[in-house]
Structure 1
């Protein structure tokens, strides 16, 4: 049996990895979040640039690649979230992931409905996806913008939790949109079903990994490497099991497994953490460059001035409003509240899920909704592009102007 090796694809993957490493190097050197360089690299090699990557390059495997990558990214972020830190986190964290998320969902949906004239279904879908701020963008920002621990914890926790809830809420709404037969309580049931499945799977896999690492004797020289690989395998397995039962439950499973393992007494914890961070940088680079490469400016330009108005409302009105409501009396200074307001870039989860939904709306949904697909994809990517370029690109300057940067000493 002969095996065909696509050398062009291998060269492309190698180039993407090289771009990713270069982006990380430039980010470290110039103290600018790496996602800015990753998007530039993606657009450069995409259809709007050199045309090296097209929608057919990875085919149907793209959603799987992105899904597993997101699981690893979310696992790493939640692994770093210590229970004590979260428990002692400002009350604003809990308001942001509840009241703030609800305001973001409703406010975004209304804005898209009124300014773009989208259908109610598509508006709600966009609203759900753009709830997620996302650790994929927040973490690189905080890596080069040192702020007070309470501010960083608030932004990171909001990103991790909202990534999970946004993805699950979006898939529930999409299922309702395509089925057209869900009663109101059906939404709640589908949401609880996926969240519950994800949490249970994550806890179970975390328990297995913990048992193997603490109760099984391993040769001393092999133990650190085994610990690192078991933790990574736990993230992928938790995602795969939960997602195979209920779509989008995998993200909740990866987050639960990461948070649980990160708060257990594990041998070689620092080695696991460092390995997770290295792997996450690699997959984050690959996914961001690939999705940015699939960006088509025609979809953004089709939204016209109304599209820019949507971005302006979401970033300049809605985000500050929900942040100031959520952080009222939360122990933050006005300048810190303004910084949190200005740092709400969207990342991988809305980009990947929106791409998947748009494909299904154009090809699978009866009846097909190509117009809805264009509004969905165009709006989500426009918000991602503007918020990443502006908020991530100028995060350090914004923090410096507001006087919230902490000394590196």
Structure 2
């Protein structure tokens, strides 16, 4: 029986990876973001339709750990490509997205959820914090096929990384306040600063160790590029695990900080590392979207109804207005004036 279960699980994982590769091919052929095909595949294969994929077969703790590590790789890869000199091309837009834009989305979604769904304020803001983040898991596949101006792409990449970190930490902090009964702005600020601080410290430490190893340690003359790739991958996972061990959800901040620092440090084998991380990200992105889409329950969506859809639409639209409100230059084409 155990052997059969293992065989089924192996088949499920192999199928997810295969579907992920096909989704990427379809994305390239039709110029449609791969997440569209991944989510559709997850829903079709999940218990609500064909029942060929049941995420519960992984077990809740195992699935949570796998998804967490996958997100860590995706965030690190996205942060690794962020260049500080390029970010200067759209400083005001990026700053608005990660400050005013995020705040408007959080407050607006919280208010909408509170009044439309009739839940308490803390739960409403918990939902709001979850919906604030877009994240590199969504932004990267879209930017792969949707042409935008350089400054728009840089602003969105920055927003995807920074807001993913702050939104994840905010959500955990609010959830902890709900479950522990803590109250007051001081509790919120303290818990947030604690998690962000752990993430910053671990991320800086791991980036420093990786930089030293890549620059000054003999990684074997014959296999140095391969060893460099594996070393960086292991470093990203260690940063995530170590920070999360110190404080839950601080791991996302750690991998983001490590990725940004290492990506801007002019390390050896940078092109090989970037290409390898991109391939690994494709695999884990497929697993995350297909598996999580299979968890969708139509009955829950129907229960949310129009009010739930309106709350979600508000969070997306108000966030979009914040970055689209940045005026386009006079030389911009009509498509660029509409945020491309």
Report the TM-score range of the alignment, normalised by the length of the smaller protein: over 0.9
SS of aligned partner of 2:56: coil
The within-5 A match list for 1:16-95 is 16-59=16-59, 60-95=61-96
The reply on whether 1:279 has 2:265 as its aligned counterpart is no
Please tell me whether the aligned partners of residues 241 and 250 of structure 1 are also in contact (alpha carbons under 8 angstroms).
Answer: yes
The CA distance in 2 between the partners of 1:205 and 1:330, in whole Å, is 40
Please tell me whether the aligned partners of residues 102 and 163 of structure 2 are also in contact (alpha carbons under 8 angstroms).
Answer: yes
Tell me how large the CA RMSD over aligned residues is: 2.0
The within-5 A match list for 1:350-361 is none
2:258 aligns to what? 257
The CA distance in 2 between the partners of 1:91 and 1:322, in whole Å, is 11
Q: CA deviation at 1:165?
A: 0.4
1:99 aligns to what? 100
The CA distance in 2 between the partners of 1:331 and 1:216, in whole Å, is 51
Q: For the structure 1 residues 201 and 320, does the alpha-carbon distance in structure 2 shift closer, same or farther, using more than 3 Å as the test? A: closer
1:293 aligns to what? 294
2:11 aligns to what? 11
Please tell me whether the aligned partners of residues 131 and 166 of structure 1 are also in contact (alpha carbons under 8 angstroms).
Answer: yes
Please tell me whether the aligned partners of residues 92 and 330 of structure 1 are also in contact (alpha carbons under 8 angstroms).
Answer: no
The CA distance in 1 between the partners of 2:25 and 2:320, in whole Å, is 32
Q: CA deviation at 1:218?
A: 3.0
Please tell me whether the aligned partners of residues 213 and 267 of structure 1 are also in contact (alpha carbons under 8 angstroms).
Answer: yes
2:310 aligns to what? 309
CA deviation profile, 1:217-276 (whole Å, cap 9, x unmatched): 233221000110011111100000000110000000010111111011211100000000
Please tell me whether the aligned partners of residues 195 and 247 of structure 2 are also in contact (alpha carbons under 8 angstroms).
Answer: yes
CA deviation profile, 1:44-67 (whole Å, cap 9, x unmatched): 110111112335211121110111
Q: For the structure 1 residues 314 and 5, does the alpha-carbon distance in structure 2 shift closer, same or farther, using more than 3 Å as the test? A: closer
1:150 aligns to what? 151
Q: CA deviation at 1:309?
A: 2.4
1:124 aligns to what? 125
The CA distance in 2 between the partners of 1:4 and 1:320, in whole Å, is 48
For structure 1, which runs of at least 5 residues remain unmatched after alignment? 340-403, 405-409
Moved more, 253-262 or 112-121: 112-121
The CA distance in 1 between the partners of 2:128 and 2:312, in whole Å, is 12
Q: CA deviation at 1:15?
A: 0.7
Please tell me whether the aligned partners of residues 135 and 163 of structure 2 are also in contact (alpha carbons under 8 angstroms).
Answer: yes
1:200 aligns to what? 201
The within-5 A match list for 1:147-226 is 147-226=148-227
Q: CA deviation at 1:128?
A: 0.6
Please tell me whether the aligned partners of residues 90 and 330 of structure 1 are also in contact (alpha carbons under 8 angstroms).
Answer: no
Please tell me whether the aligned partners of residues 224 and 268 of structure 1 are also in contact (alpha carbons under 8 angstroms).
Answer: yes
1:367 aligns to what? none
Q: Normalising by the residue count of structure 1, what TM-score does the alignment of the two structures yield?
A: 0.79
Q: Normalising by the residue count of structure 2, what TM-score does the alignment of the two structures yield?
A: 0.94
The CA distance in 1 between the partners of 2:151 and 2:28, in whole Å, is 24
The CA distance in 2 between the partners of 1:336 and 1:130, in whole Å, is 26
CA deviation profile, 1:106-158 (whole Å, cap 9, x unmatched): 00000111111122121010111111011111111111112111010011111
CA deviation profile, 1:354-374 (whole Å, cap 9, x unmatched): xxxxxxxxxxxxxxxxxxxxx
1:400 aligns to what? none
Moved more, 219-228 or 277-286: 219-228
Please tell me whether the aligned partners of residues 323 and 337 of structure 1 are also in contact (alpha carbons under 8 angstroms).
Answer: no
